Structures are given as C-alpha cells and as structure tokens.
C-alpha cells in the first residue's frame, strides 16, 4: 500500500500578515538603532565635543608650568637683602629608571653623591609619586653639570634642571627679621589646598617659612605661567604651541637700616641677647637682632638632619627670635612707666618724697625688701627715684597703687599683648594681675607679688620689641604706632609707600606728666653714658634677676652658674627734643645693666645719629 501524499494548504492572507508584522518590527528596530546612533553621534560631536577635544589634546599637548621669579627684598636705602641666584639640580623620574639603587651607585662614580644623599633618595621614594620628578642632588657645580652631561646617555630618566633659588647675601645678619624660604612639605601642601592656593605653586617648590618671607608670601610669590607643548607618543617635545609668561613677585622695601643692623650684631659679638631699634615717628623697625643667629641659606636647599639637630639642641637656642619671642623681666626699665602711673592717679606728685634707708617693709611684716644700694638713697622724689633707680620708692608706689591698677595702666603701652608686628613669630609676654594668677595657677594674689611687679620683676615679662614699643610711646608723649617692617611695595609699574598703622593715643589727665617722666630719663642719660654726646638722649637701665636671692643672702656673680646671672637691659631714645630712634637692648646673664648694656646703646645711637657727619669726615 503506497504512502499517503501530504497536502499543504497555503494561506496567503496569513502569510502576508506575518510578513508585514515582521517587516514592521525590523523597520522599527532599524529606526530605533539609527536614532540611538544619531543621538550618540550628536552627544560625541556636539554636546561633549569640548571634553573629548581636551582629552585628545591632552594626549598630544603637554602643559608645563613655569615658575615666577620671587620678589626681592631691600632695606630702607635700597640695599639688597634677599635675592634670587641661578642653580642646577639633578632630578630623576622614578618610573623611567629600571633600578634606582643601581643607578645611584653608578651615578656616584660620575658626580660626588654621598651615602647619606643616596639613602635620602631611597627614603623619599617610599612616599613619592613615581611619575613626578624627584630631586637627587641640589646645588650642582659647573664641573658636575658638565660631567653628567657627558654621561647622560647612561642614565635614562635623569636630567639636570636649572632654576632660581633664594639667597641671603648677608647670611645670618637678617635671619630673625627676614626668615627664610624652604621646600614645601606635606603640612604646607595641606594648608595651601585647604585655602585653595595650591594652583599658585604649580611650578614652585619653595615657600616662605618664617619672618618677612612667610608674612608677605602672597606679595613675594608671583603667579606661575605655562608652556603648551606638542609631544609625540613617547613624550618628546615636538614644538611649543603657546607660552604664557609668569608674573614675577613684587619687590618689597623694609624699614630696616642695614648699617644699623650690622652695627647691632657687631656689638652683641655672639653674646646671647637682642637689640631692637624703632623710628618713633612712624613705628618703622630700624634694626631687629637676635643673637646668636644662624645662616638661613642652610634651609633654602634643604638642611641636613645633623645640621638641624645641632641648631635645635644648642644651649644658646639660635632658632628662637629673642627680639619677639624672648620673655624677660623688664626690671628697672619700666620704672618711668610706673612713675607715670603714680603721677596720673595722684599717688605721688613731683614733690612727693620718701626716705630710703636701703630697704622697704610692708606695714606689720618683718620681711625687708632690699634696695640695690644697701645703705639707701636717703630722701628721693620721682625724678631722683628714676635717675638713681631707687627700688624702695617703687616698692612703696606699687604697694599704694595695687597690681590691677598697674596692669590696666600698662595695657595701652602694649605690655602683655602682641604688638601686631608683621611677622608671625611673636610672644605676648605677661602683664600679671589678680585674675591672671587665678586663671594661670589657681592661686590668690599676694601683696609680695605686687611689690615685685613694682620693680619690673616677679611674674612680669616682656619681649625686647614690646619694651622698645612702650619706650617709643613715652618718647612720643602718648602717640602710638604698630611696629612694622614694610616700608613700600614695588611692582612692575610703580613703588607704593605703605602708610603706618597709627593707634588712638594715650591721653593723660595731666599732659605735663609726660614731660616730668621724659625729663627724668634725660637726666639719667646725662649723668651716665651720654655726658659727652653730641646730642641729647634719654634712657633708663635695668638689671633683672634670673632667680630669687634669699633675704639674708648676697648675690655673687662669680660663684653662680653663668646662666643664672642677671640680665642687663637698657631703653633709650634720641634726640631728646625730636626723637628719631628708640632702642631696647637685652643682654642675657651679662650683669649690671648700665655697665654692660649702656655702651651698646651709646654706640648704636652714635652710629645712627652721627653717621652723616662721620661720612663727611672720611
């Protein structure tokens, strides 16, 4: 039986309908895909054009930042104090070096590379990004540059870079005023990023660390420029497409007087101490010296750990700015201010006299507060008390006045507060009061504390700058300025003087009291170091105890540790009729103020006031 034949019925209508639905689906799919393609093309070519163009250019265009030249620093007469000198450094891009350790060993045969320098490089690699240049050696000599250039083909990834570095031609002369610049560290970087300033340092590796260099960093830095270079796929420069020059930092002129600064450091002669000179007419600082000093150039290229450790651990503490951070008992140098208070609140009058037998006692108390002159000064008034520096007179005055009145009166003179000088390294000192002691030590104030304050001892401490500033206010009869270094700013177009910052004056109930105190200081100078001077000066010396001497004990400088001996101080100004310069001198552990600090003050005033006449005789 033959198999049955299969008969298929064709439904043309159904087939046509199926074809139409499939064709429509295919057409719509094509339309959707074409739409997505067009949208994507629009996004690439129109919407994101700039972004992809930048990315493309970044693959062939390299932006190289160009460092600006740091502004120069001059003294008031245009003498250069901080300059920029060319230098060469050897740098390495770690990712281009196969074996850093072997490369350094081989390099040491070409240039002088010490074991410490190699160790420092290897340590720095632990925290350094491998695609960024790392300095191997600073301050290459011309011979080292030539030797490396001949052998450079042996050291891929290494290159000699040229630039400008800060240089201080007078070494340690201006250190505590100018400060110095140093390499940007992680703390500096964090601060710059936090303050949105990191972009200004794209091509700069240094930043002001202390002093003027730090305070006026924004003026001195300048603005970086850049080069746009076309590079090939290996990073080699083909051509420069665009150059935007950097804007150099502004030059600044200071109120400092180079010759006076040199004379001050010469007179200190390595002794521990400080000298501050101010122009009372505007508050400009003429000289600011802290001794011993150090060479700031050590920090510019990176100081070695050994050298820094020696400075840090030195018993003489050269890193401390004694002029603005050293805190000393002012001793008898503040007796004119205390006498002024006594006149103002009518505790004493110009004719008030007390008997000085060589000591003073609190009523009802056996303890005797001794005068420096063991047999006493006899009858003394306000003038003779200042001239002879009678302790007994000021013991009595402080007892009658009270410490809070003293503290309140001294505040406008700047004691116990920062002066606002234009460097960051400044201490406030201490102007004690009852509340201060309670807050500081949680102890009550005693009458004996007041007696010590009456001769500038006890808890009272001041910096030499504060002392000079307070003396300038006396010389000005109450007129006050903020002490400052900046005199003028020089940019590319003009030199602009900066006006002094004048504070409200101190006004006395009886303005004649200024004259009484200043006349006493003039008489003090006339009877001591300035008898034969060609100008009239005013002064007050001080001898500050570093430690307390028991009531019945005698101070013997020859038999105590040198660092426990008295500090020698002096304040002075001249000419008396029209003051042009105010001085504060502090010599640590030098002994008697008049004997040791007096000659220093005289020599400085002679240098400043008689310089022109001496120059004419040469």
Domain ranges of the chain: 63-254, 258-617
Q: Which CATH architecture has domain 258-617?
A: 3-Layer(aba) Sandwich (3.40)
Residue with tokens 């000419």: 575
Higher pLDDT, 178 or 19: 178
For 468-486, what is the mean pLDDT?
A: 97
Kindly report, residue by residue over 21-51, the tens digit of the pLDDT: 888 888 888 888 888 888 888 887 777 776 6
Q: Of 222, 608, 254, 194, give the one whose Cα is nearest residue 422.
A: 254
Residue with tokens 């504390």: 449
**356 annotated ligand binder:** yes
Please determine, for residue 132, whether its predicted confidence score (pLDDT) is greater than 90.
no
Of the residues 291, 332, 384, 433, which is catalytic?
Answer: 332
Q: Residue 478, class by beta-carbon neighbours within 10 Å (0-12 exposed, 13-18 middle, 19+ buried)?
A: middle
Kindly report, residue by residue over 205-241, the tens digit of the pLDDT: 899 999 999 999 999 998 988 877 776 655 566 777 7
Peptide bond into 575 cis (omega under 30): yes
Structure-block tokens of residue 339 = 């006498």
For 568-572, what is the mean pLDDT?
A: 95
Please determine, for residue 456, whether its predicted confidence score (pLDDT) is greater than 60.
yes
Q: Which of 152-166, 200-214, 418-432, 559-573 is least confident?
A: 559-573
| pLDDT given at position 454 | 95
Residue with tokens 């000289």: 287
| pLDDT given at position 202 | 81
**51 annotated ligand binder:** no
From CA 224, how far away is CA 249, in angstroms rounded? 10
**390 annotated ligand binder:** yes
Those residues whose C-beta lies under 8 Å from the C-beta of residue 528, and which sit 6 or more positions away, are 539, 541, 594, 598
Q: What is the SS3 assignment for 73? A: strand
Kindly report, residue by residue over 283-308, the tens digit of the pLDDT: 999 999 999 999 999 998 888 888 88
CATH number of 63-254: 3.90.1310.10
From CA 318, how far away is CA 313, in angstroms rounded? 9
Q: Of 197, 274, 187, give the one whose Cα is nearest residue 464.
A: 274
From CA 360, how far away is CA 451, in angstroms rounded? 10
Q: Of 410, 395, 505, 375, give the one whose Cα is nearest residue 453.
A: 395
From CA 368, how far away is CA 552, in angstroms rounded? 9
Structure-block tokens of residue 548 = 């307390």
Please determine, for residue 458, whether its predicted confidence score (pLDDT) is greater than 90.
yes
From CA 481, how far away is CA 281, in angstroms rounded? 8
Q: Residue 36, class by beta-carbon neighbours within 10 Å (0-12 exposed, 13-18 middle, 19+ buried)?
A: exposed
Higher pLDDT, 592 or 428: 428
CA distances from 548 to 359, 452, 485, 597 (A): 16, 11, 37, 22
Kindly report, residue by residue over 305-351, the tens digit of the pLDDT: 888 899 999 999 999 999 999 999 999 999 999 999 999 999 999 99
Q: What is the SS3 assignment for 514? A: helix
Kindly report, residue by residue over 94-123, the tens digit of the pLDDT: 888 888 888 888 888 888 887 877 888 888
| pLDDT given at position 6 | 55
Instruction: Say whether 186 is catalytic.
Output: no
Higher pLDDT, 386 or 303: 386
| pLDDT given at position 2 | 52
**371 annotated ligand binder:** yes
């Amino acid at each position: 039986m033959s198999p049955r034949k299969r008969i298929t019925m064709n439904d043309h209508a159904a087939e046509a309908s199926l074809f139409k639905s499939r064709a429509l689906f295919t057409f719509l799919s094509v339309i959707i895909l074409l739409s997505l393609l067009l949208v994507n093309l629009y996004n690439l070519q129109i919407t994101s054009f700039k972004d992809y163009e930048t990315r493309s250019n970044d693959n062939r265009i390299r932006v190289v930042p160009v460092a600006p030249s740091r502004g120069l620093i001059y003294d008031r007469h245009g003498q250069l104090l901080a300059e920029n000198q060319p230098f060469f450094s050897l740098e390495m891009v770690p990712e281009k070096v196969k074996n850093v350790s072997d490369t350094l060993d081989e390099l040491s045969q070409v240039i002088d590379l010490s074991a410490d320098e190699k160790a420092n490089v290897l340590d720095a690699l632990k925290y350094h990004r491998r695609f960024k240049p790392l300095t191997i050696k600073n301050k290459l000599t011309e011979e080292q540059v030539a030797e490396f250039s001949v052998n450079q083909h042996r050291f891929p990834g290494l290159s000699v870079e040229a630039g400008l570095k800060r240089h201080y031609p007078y070494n340690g002369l201006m250190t505590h005023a100018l400060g110095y610049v140093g390499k940007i560290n992680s703390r500096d970087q964090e601060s710059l990023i936090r303050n949105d300033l990191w972009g200004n340092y794209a091509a700069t590796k240094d930043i002001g660390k202390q002093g003027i260099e730090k305070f006026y960093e924004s003026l001195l830095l300048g603005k970086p420029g850049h080069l746009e270079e076309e590079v090939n796929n290996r990073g080699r420069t083909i051509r420069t497409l665009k150059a935007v020059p950097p804007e150099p930092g502004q030059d600044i002129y200071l109120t400092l007087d180079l010759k006076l600064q040199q004379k001050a450091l010469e007179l200190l002669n390595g002794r521990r101490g400080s000298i501050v000179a101010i122009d009372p007419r505007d508050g400009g600082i003429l000289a600011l010296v802290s001794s011993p000093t150090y060479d700031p150039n050590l920090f510019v290229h990176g100081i070695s750990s050994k050298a820094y450790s020696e400075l840090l651990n030195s018993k003489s503490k050269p890193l401390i700015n004694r002029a603005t951070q050293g805190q000393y008992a002012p001793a008898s140098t503040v007796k004119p201010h205390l006498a002024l208070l006594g006149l103002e609140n009518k505790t004493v009058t110009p004719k008030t006299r007390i008997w000085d037998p060589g000591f003073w006692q609190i009523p009802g108390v056996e303890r005797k507060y001794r005068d420096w002159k063991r047999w006493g000064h006899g009858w003394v008034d306000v003038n003779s008390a200042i001239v002879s520096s009678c302790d007994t007179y000021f013991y009595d005055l402080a007892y009658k006045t009270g410490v809070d009145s003293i503290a309140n009166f001294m505040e406008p003179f700047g004691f116990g507060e920062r002066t606002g000088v234009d460097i960051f390294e400044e201490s406030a000192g201490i102007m004690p009061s009852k509340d201060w002691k309670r807050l500081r030590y949680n102890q009550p104030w005693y009458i004996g504390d007041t007696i010590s304050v009456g001769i500038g001892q006890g808890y009272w401490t001041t910096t030499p700058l504060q002392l000079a500033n307070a003396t300038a206010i006396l010389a000005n009869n109450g007129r006050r300025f903020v002490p400052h270094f900046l005199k003028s700013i020089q940019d590319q177009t003009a030199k602009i003087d900066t006006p002094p910052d004048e504070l409200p004056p101190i006004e006395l109930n009886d303005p004649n009291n200024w004259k009484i105190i200043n006349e006493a200081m003039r008489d003090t100078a006339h009877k001591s170091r300035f008898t034969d001077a060609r100008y009239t000066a005013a002064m007050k010396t001080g001898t500050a105890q570093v430690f307390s001497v028991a009531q019945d004990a005698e101070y013997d400088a020859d038999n105590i540790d040198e660092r426990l001996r008295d500090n020698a101080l002096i304040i002075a100004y001249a000419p008396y009729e029209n003051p042009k310069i105010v001085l504060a001198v502090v010599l640590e552990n030098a002994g008697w103020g008049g004997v040791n600090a007096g000659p220093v003050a005289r020599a400085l005033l002679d240098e400043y006031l008689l310089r022109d006449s001496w120059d004419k005789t040469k």
